[in-house]
Structure 1
Amino acid sequence: MSPVVADPVVLFERVGEVAVLRLHRPDRLNAFTVRMREELEAAFDRCDADDEVRAVVLTGSGRAYCAGADLASGADTFVAEPVGGEVPPDEGGLVSLRIYRSTKPVVVAVNGPAVGVGVTSTLPADIRIASDTARFGFVFTRRGLVPEACSSWFLPRIVGIATALEWTLSGRLIDAPEALAKGLVREIVPPERVVERAIELARGLVSGTAPVSVALTRRMLWSMLGAEGPEVAHAM
């Protein structure tokens, strides 16, 4: 049993066999913090440990999905203190890798703006859908930064290298129709339907399927993206 967290920034709800995880800092547009990363990791651990949870839906509270890193600390937000003489991995990357390692399918319901780590950390999900109010921004070059959260690996594999370069080099905002046309999201739905539709899609991934087969298939397909040839898959 996971410990109860006072005033959580990630809410956990069960809708039948689907766990709905909700980023919950609506007054800050669900801006990302270290605590949010910790609670997300704990929530995914909880889902993986519960055989009654077959799939995960990830969304945000209020009018945004996630506005990126919380900038309340100003420039210090991006200062990483070395640990043992080495720069620690970025916090968004820890979330991306935890989603990547999930044994349950993951559907993201992007209910509003998703910027910076708010979009890059969704890339390891199996399906992303968007409300028609969603906007996406790989805005790192406009902040003097480079893409994080493992997005330099995931994004070109999802939308292709040309689109990935255009979006990350320009740092411009992308509306939901463009995200749909380029394959970043599967479909666009009204805001009031986005979570409900994500749950429907999540159930479609696991209905009538074997949990171990689903987990292994998910891992095989992701891991084969970097394989040299089909012989690697044949040997698995």
Structure 2
Amino acid sequence: MSPNDDLVLAHREPLAEGHATVITLNRPDKLNAWTGAMRTRLVGLFEEAGADADCRAVVLTGAGAAFCAGQDLAETRDIDPADHAAAEAWIDDFDLLYRALRGIDKPTIAAVNGVAAGSGFQFALLADLRVGHPGVRMGQPEVRSGIPSVTGIWAMWDILGKARTIEFTLTGELVDGDEAHRLGLLTRLVPGRDEVLPAALALADSLASLPPGAVALTKARLREIDDEALTDSITAAKRVHAQAYASGEPQREMERFLAKRR
């Protein structure tokens, strides 16, 4: 067992039909900010859940007070702007993760128990449904760390539309659970954090009773609709992030952010 396995946990929850695979980001002291190793682990767990005939739904959540604060800046601050292969590999890493989640032919539900920011926010939006509470904070603050938002634009566009996507990407502000629910970022709102995971599991139980073939084919069609846009977004992300890191701005802003935290 790899030490990184403890940073992403998985267990089964019984449903009326089969079980739900519950996957928990387990780095609460860092608001579940993820590293490349955590994303690799997630891809493997998604593949296992997809291949498990008894798994009828996948529920994603975070340990502690956060869902996922996005990329661990301590990892990306050291990207060498001259090392184009490393920078592109970082974007490819997210491409694999996003496609692995989208590729699960079973209902996926994000139990958003706390902050979901940056790529963690995008990750939540890629789930089929999202359950949260009023204390949730969701948004795309990457620009504040000198990181341009590219895949974030793709993830938000069909939910928020052009005007609100521009607002989210340029202001970097986070919205609370009530506003997230009003905007469609959250599918369902429950009164408190302790009710988020039970509500997500109840939703999984309901969806598990649906004919799995129809669910799989419906999800396949949904992927087809915007898959080309995802491919375009990944290509653009490599170009745009190369320009950003070559300027040195993301490295400076991330170091300033980390220095404040220290």
Q: TM-score, normalised by structure 1?
A: 0.85
Q: Distance in 2 between matches of 1:81 and 1:206?
A: 46
Q: Distance in 1 between matches of 2:145 and 2:204?
A: 35
What residue is the counterpart of 1:188 in the other structure?
Answer: 189
What residue is the counterpart of 1:146 in the other structure?
Answer: 148
Distance 1:37 1:180, change over 3 A: same
Q: Distance in 1 between matches of 2:10 and 2:81?
A: 30
Q: Distance in 2 between matches of 1:204 and 1:79?
A: 48
**Deviation per residue, 1:202-231 (Å, 9 max, x gap):** 222221x2222211111112323579xxxx
The one-letter amino acid of 1:154's match is A
Q: Does 1:49 align with 2:51?
A: yes
1:104 aligns to what SS in structure 2? coil
Q: Which moved more, 1:174-183 or 1:153-162?
A: 153-162
How many Å apart are 1:157 and its aligned residue? Answer: 0.7
Distance 1:69 1:77, change over 3 A: farther
What residue is the counterpart of 2:62 in the other structure?
Answer: 60
In structure 2, runs of 5+ residues without a counterpart are 229-262
Alignment of 1:194-213 (within 5 A): 194-207=196-209, 209-213=210-214
How many Å apart are 1:166 and its aligned residue? Answer: 1.1
Q: Does 1:13 align with 2:11?
A: yes
Q: Does 1:169 align with 2:170?
A: yes
What residue is the counterpart of 1:234 in the other structure?
Answer: none
Distance 1:225 1:194, change over 3 A: same
Distance 1:77 1:69, change over 3 A: farther
The one-letter amino acid of 1:56's match is V
Contact 1:57–1:198 (CA under 8 A) maintained in structure 2: yes
Q: Distance in 2 between matches of 1:73 and 1:203?
A: 38
The one-letter amino acid of 2:139's match is G
Tell me the percent identity. 37
Q: TM-score, normalised by structure 2?
A: 0.77
Q: Distance in 1 between matches of 2:145 and 2:80?
A: 10
Distance 1:65 1:35, change over 3 A: same
Q: Distance in 2 between matches of 1:32 and 1:81?
A: 22
Contact 2:133–2:178 (CA under 8 A) maintained in structure 1: no
What residue is the counterpart of 1:158 in the other structure?
Answer: 159
Contact 1:92–1:121 (CA under 8 A) maintained in structure 2: no
Contact 1:70–1:77 (CA under 8 A) maintained in structure 2: no
Aligned residues: 221
RMSD: 2.2
